[in-house]
Amino acid sequence: MSKSDHPYQPPPKWLDRLLEWLCTPELLEEVLGDLHERYYLRVQREGVSKARKSYWREVLAYLQFSTLKRPSSQSITLISSDMIRNYLTIALRNLTNHKAFSALNILGLVLSMTSSLLIFLWVQDELGVDNFHTNSDRLYAIYQTIEANGQLGGSYSTPVRSNADGPFLPIDGVADAAPEIENLVYYATGYELPWGHPETFQVGDNIHKLEGSRASQAFFSMFDYPLIAGNPKTALAKKNSIAISETMAQLFFDHPEKAIGQSIRYENRLDFEVTAVFADLSSQSSLQLSV
């Protein structure tokens, strides 16, 4: 009897059931049709035994990720809900049975999370200080080291000297030692000096004690403290020039624009001319002064 004379034997039913179980419904009919057609042709050409082996290999080849059934979102939701409910039950049971141990763990978790949050907020605040200056990546503070009595010390307090041409001059040799320096500014917070204290300012009978500082001419050109009135390049050009805050301008002159060109008496000894009014400093500024 030839191979074509063999009686037709259908492919293994369990393989078809496997496909029905795993294959997506929209592809099942097409996949089974193709497999059965090729199986019938192989039975005619090669015989039942080889046709069954080929059918087995083709079924496995069809079971790819693209043809497999996906679990429905509803079943996933149900499984997730059951798992969460089970976890909560176990957790509550452990809390009840081990109260002291659970309280210690919860306390440690709360403390660690609180500490992490506080550290994050502190770092975020520190990184935001003085970052509003346009050239913040090119601004540096000079730190001076001093050797005295065999001991090495240092500070950011750089000595300056007065001159008739201006209130401050660079210390000798700074520009020669570091020619890459484009500009120098001197600044001293008067209220933080060892002898610092709020200072008296007066306009007529209006007297206030405020915290002021000293700065050289290029201060408002180098730093981006916004001026409400006045020119940043000439605000501190003269020895008797003074730049005041917006709050101080309102205290003495009711409006920043009215303050320009006015005279303010300092410590009942010196008279200063208001040449600029700067906006009140934000909390992100390392300088906090009222003058």
Beta carbons within 10 angstroms of residue 34's beta carbon: 12
Give the pLDDT confidence of 16-58 residue by residue, as tens digits. 787 777 777 777 787 788 888 888 888 888 888 888 888 878 8
Angle at 34 between CA 28 and CA 36, to 5 degrees: 95
Give the pLDDT confidence of 120-144 residue by residue, as tens digits. 999 988 888 888 888 888 888 777 7
Nearest-CA neighbor of 28 among 56, 62, 73?
62
- Residue predicted with more confidence, 289 or 44: 44
Q: How far apart are the first and last CA of the chain?
A: 115
> String of b and e for 193-218 (b: at least 16 CB within 10 Å)?
eeeeeeeebbbeeeeeebbbbebbbb
228, β-bridge pairs: none
Amino acid 236 reads: L
Q: Distance from CA of residue 27 to its chain's centroid?
A: 50
Nearest-CA neighbor of 130 among 281, 271, 273, 289?
281
Question: What is the C-alpha to C-alpha distance for residues 210 and 269, in angstroms, rounded to an integer?
Answer: 16
Answer positive or negative: Cα dihedral of 98, 100, 103, 104. Answer: negative
Question: What is the C-alpha to C-alpha distance for residues 40 and 45, in angstroms, rounded to an integer?
Answer: 9
For residue 149 the two structure tokens come to 């009595």
Q: Say whether pLDDT at 289 is over 80.
A: no
The domain segmentation of the chain, as residue ranges, is: 3-62, 73-127, 159-278
- Residue predicted with more confidence, 76 or 149: 149
Q: Output the pLDDT for position 3.
A: 47
Phi, psi (deg, nearest 5) at residue 112: -65, -40
Q: Output the pLDDT for position 214.
A: 85
Q: Say whether pLDDT at 68 is over 60.
A: no
